[in-house]
């Protein structure tokens, strides 16, 4: 059979390719539609192994490194990033000009990989905080740790207490830095530990200094940690409101008797908590005179002010 491939002004007959057995009809069929010159050059490469120099325009036309599936996924993420209340699958399909079946498959994979979440009713899609968590594993987080550690050490030496730095991670908190106090006695949280979002001072401060939408997403992604104390959602909102008003949290630990957790947010440019710094304060009862809880609180406040990027307008 003499199959004719016609594209623009170029005609390539299958019979003309019979001298090159490595060049099959399937290869021709698999080629993306491109300008005729590009198509012809690809045929020549396949049949003769010829290395041809392409000018800049031809390289752009060839677009040889396209990854359509990846593009579709990124298009969805970028679209949802602009949507406060999420979108239905039909709205996503219409906005991106794609067909429904390919959007369905892509959304299912994004949900399975936890980059996108469904609403409680199951009819709307919105971004999860997984990208937020991934961003905090990126080198900028390493820079935060590098900046925080000297200041944390200075606090620990002055307050004679330990402190630890945590960030949000997949529904709870992750300890990314920890410094012990200089004394014989102290309490520390193991580096790399996952800390509860609901019943800890660190978690409540993290929640308090987020937008309503971000807080709801964090709570939706939350999973219980071992020993977690249950709290009513209304009570949690009230606690967050008190923390926002005070600017920090000071409360008895719900995990360890005799410990007072003092926690401040490290705030980004918009005032959101990008991390929180906690001192699990232990009061000495012997004759040694250690810095008081009030003194430690002041020192911790000064530490986070040096790390935060947010500055409230005065006057």
pTM for this model (two decimals): 0.58
The radius of gyration of the chain from alpha carbons, rounded to an integer in Å, stands at 29
Give the end of a domain, one of 128, 148, 166.
Answer: 128
* CB-CB neighbours of 108 under 10 Å: 12
In the predicted model, residues of the chain with pLDDT beneath 70 are 1-63, 135-139, 311-315
Quick one: pLDDT at residue 125? 94
Quick one: pLDDT at residue 135? 67
Q: How far is CA 236 from the centre of its chain?
A: 24
User: Which CATH number does the domain housing residue 102 bear?
Assistant: 1.10.10.10
What the block records as the tokens of 262 is 């003092």
If residue 150 lies in a helix (H) or strand (E), which one and from where to where? helix 139-159
Do 176 and 263 fall into the same domain?
yes
Q: Tell me whether residue 144 is in a domain.
A: yes
Is the Cα dihedral 107, 84, 96, 93 positive or negative?
positive
Q: Which residues contact 17 (CB under 8 A, 6 or more apart)?
A: 23, 43, 47
Q: Tell me whether residue 257 is in a domain.
A: yes
If residue 165 lies in a helix (H) or strand (E), which one and from where to where? strand 163-169
3-state helix, strand, coil in the chain (%, to 5): 45, 15, 40
Please work out, in degrees rounded to the nearest 5, the angle formed at the alpha carbon of residue 234 by the alpha carbons of 228 and 238. Answer: 95
Q: Tell me whether residue 260 is in a domain.
A: yes
Is residue 141 within 8 A of residue 166, CB to CB? The reply is no
Is residue 179 within 8 A of residue 162, CB to CB? The reply is yes
pLDDT in tens, 278-296: 999 999 888 888 999 999 9
Do 51 and 73 fall into the same domain?
no
Quick one: pLDDT at residue 312? 66
Range of the domain at 84: 68-128
Do 157 and 245 fall into the same domain?
yes
Could you give the C-alpha distances from 231 to 62, 238, 239, 273, 294, in angstroms and in order? 58, 11, 10, 22, 28
Do 106 and 166 fall into the same domain?
no
Could you give the C-alpha distances from 86 to 82, 124, 216, 220, 222, in angstroms and in order? 9, 6, 13, 14, 19
Helices 212-221 and 201-208: crossing angle in degrees, nearest 10, is: 140
Quick one: pLDDT at residue 30? 35
Separation of alpha carbons 61 and 79, rounded Å: 26
pLDDT in tens, 196-215: 999 999 999 999 999 999 99
Quick one: pLDDT at residue 104? 92
């Amino acid at each position: 059979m003499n199959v004719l491939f016609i594209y623009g002004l170029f005609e390539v007959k299958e019979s003309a390719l019979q001298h090159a057995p490595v060049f099959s009809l399937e290869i021709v069929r698999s080629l993306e539609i491109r300008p005729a010159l590009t198509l012809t050059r690809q045929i020549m490469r396949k049949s003769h192994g010829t290395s041809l120099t392409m000018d800049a325009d031809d390289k752009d036309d060839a677009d040889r490194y396209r990854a359509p599936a990846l593009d579709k996924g990124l298009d969805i993420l970028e679209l949802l990033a602009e949507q406060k209340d999420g979108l239905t699958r039909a709205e996503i399909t219409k906005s991106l000009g794609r067909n429904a079946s390919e959007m369905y498959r892509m959304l299912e994979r994004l949900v399975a990989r936890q980059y996108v979440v469904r609403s409680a009713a199951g009819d709307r899609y919105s971004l999860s905080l997984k990208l937020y968590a991934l961003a905090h594993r990126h080198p900028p987080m390493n820079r935060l740790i590098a900046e925080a550690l000297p200041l944390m050490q200075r606090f620990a030496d002055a307050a004679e207490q330990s402190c630890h730095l945590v960030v949000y991670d997949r529904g709870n908190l992750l300890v990314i830095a920890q410094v012990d106090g200089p004394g014989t006695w102290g309490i520390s949280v193991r580096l790399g530990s996952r800390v509860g979002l609901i019943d800890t001072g660190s978690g409540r401060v993290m929640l308090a200094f987020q937008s309503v939408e971000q807080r709801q997403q964090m709570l939706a992604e939350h999973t219980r940690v071992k020993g977690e104390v249950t709290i009513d959602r209304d009570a949690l909102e009230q606690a967050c409101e008190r923390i926002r008003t005070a600017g920090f949290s000071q409360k008895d630990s719900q995990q360890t008797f005799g410990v007072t957790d003092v926690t401040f947010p490290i705030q980004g440019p918009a005032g959101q908590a990008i991390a929180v710094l906690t001192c699990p304060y232990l009061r000495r009862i012997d004759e040694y005179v250690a810095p008081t809880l009030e003194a430690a609180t002041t020192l911790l406040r000064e530490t986070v002010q040096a790390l935060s990027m947010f500055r409230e307008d005065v006057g």
